[in-house]
Structure formats: C-alpha cells, structure tokens
Amino acid sequence: MKLILLGAPGAGKGTQATRLAEHYSIPHISTGDIFRANLKAETPLGLKAKEYMDKGLLVPDELTVDLVMDRIAQEDCVNGYILDGFPRTLNQAAALDEKVAIDAAVDVEVPDEDIVKRMAGRRVCPNCGEPYHTEWKVPKKEGICDRCGAELIIRKDDEPETVLKRLTVYHDQTQPLIDHYGKQDKLVAVDGTLSVEEVTNAIIAKLEA
Ligand code: AMP
C-alpha cells in the first residue's frame, strides 16, 4: 500500500500516518520529521531547511524530492509506505508520479478556523519529540514532558503568524494536489474534524471499500 496524506498543516496527518503505518505495517515517512531531525543534527540540509521552515515557507523542491526518492528506494519500503507531508507542490507530485504509482491520496479535511485553534495549543518536547496540546493532550505536569522531563516548547513554525503563513502556502501550493489526485481517481477525502479514532476508521473503510 502506497499512500499519500494530504491536508493542511495541523489537520492531523502525522497522527493518522502513525496509526495507518501501524495498521498496514509499512513505514511512515514524514518530510517535516526528516527536516527536523537534520536540523537537530545541524546537517547542511537541516540548516538550509530551517531558513524556510521558520518562515512557514516550503523547502525548495530540489532539496526535497531527491530526499524522498532515496527514502522510498530503501528496503523497508518494498511493501509500501505512507508519505506524510509529501508531495506538497505539483512539481513534487509530478516527480513522484514519474517513479511510482501510489494507491491513494487521503485528504484529511479540516476548516481553517479549526486549524488555527489546534495549532495555537500545540507544544512539543524539544528533547524526545513527544507532541502535546494544551487542550487535548495535556502533560501530567504543566509544561513538562511526561516521557523525559524536558521543558515543552512551541515549535517556531507553530507560532501564530507562521501558522497563518503556512495556511496561505498550503492553499496556494498544496491544495491544487487535491485536483491532481482527483483526476487520477485516487483521492480519498475524510472529515478531519472527527475524533482521531473515527478519522482512522473512516480512512481504512474508504481504502478497503
Ligand atoms: P510538517 O511537519 O509536515 O508540517 O513540515 C514542517 C515544515 O517542513 C514545512 O512547513 C516546510 O517548511 C517543510 N516541509 C515539509 N515537507 C515539505 C515538502 N514536501 N516540501 C517542502 N517543504 C516541506
């Protein structure tokens, strides 16, 4: 199963990708996570990507496409994978189309107002990467990671003005992919405002229908 997860930043793609990866026993490949890991390790790619990520902009295609192509060529991807956050431009989608035939592109639909509300509450552990939310996933001790005890932070790209920028970028550059996969008859749209479990179940039901 080769899946793509579409949807605005904050729509819950990462959460759903993790659950689907487990359900189908295939790897979850998140370009955002790959960039953040590179940033943490201060690799040249990470430092370059940071310039764009901090501003809510997309990392250029020439830094992104090869990275994903190399990743999906690895052995653990022979039975499929879930791409979370890639493709994000028509150019990236064309590069992917050239190499592989995906099975479906899942669009997790969430209105902008909900996205802004969700992202305002996001916190993350800078040490172990565990995500939290001020309303839906509150740590046992305020501001402290349950797993490793580090002090939680707001990701730079979750700050309000960056969120608005990311939403504009999403509508301009990524939303056209919905049409792109619609035309290929590969689009599976689900209501992303439902509970995490309901969204996962809806995706699986539609994929298996
Ligand atoms: P995410 O965690 O998927 O929201 O990604 C965080 C940031 O990484 C994005 O705001 C972009 O700056 C960058 N990024 C992730 N995936 C891509 C991609 N496919 N193309 C360009 N930039 C990306």
String of DSSP letters for 69-97: HHHHTSGGGTT-EEEES---SHHHHHHHH
3-state secondary structure of 56: coil
86 lines ligand 1 (CB under 6 A): yes
Ligand 1 atom closest to the CA of 92, numbered from 1: 19
Q: How far is the CA of 53 from the centre of ligand 1 (A)?
A: 7
pLDDT of residue 131: 87
pLDDT of residue 96: 97
Ligand 1 pocket: which of 62, 110, 157 to mutate (most atoms within 8 A of CB): 157
Residue 153 has pLDDT above 90, yes or no: yes
pLDDT of residue 202: 98
Rounded Cα distance between 199 and 12, Å, is 9
pLDDT of residue 197: 96
Average pLDDT over residues 155-170: 89
Q: How far is the CA of 58 from the centre of ligand 1 (A)?
A: 6
Rounded Cα distance between 122 and 147, Å, is 17
pLDDT of residue 155: 85
CB burial of residue 98 (10 Å; 0-12, 13-18, 19+): exposed
pLDDT of residue 22: 96
Average pLDDT over residues 120-130: 91
Q: Which two tokens stand for residue 103?
A: 């099975």
Question: Which residues does the annotation mark as catalytic?
Answer: 13, 88, 122, 155, 166
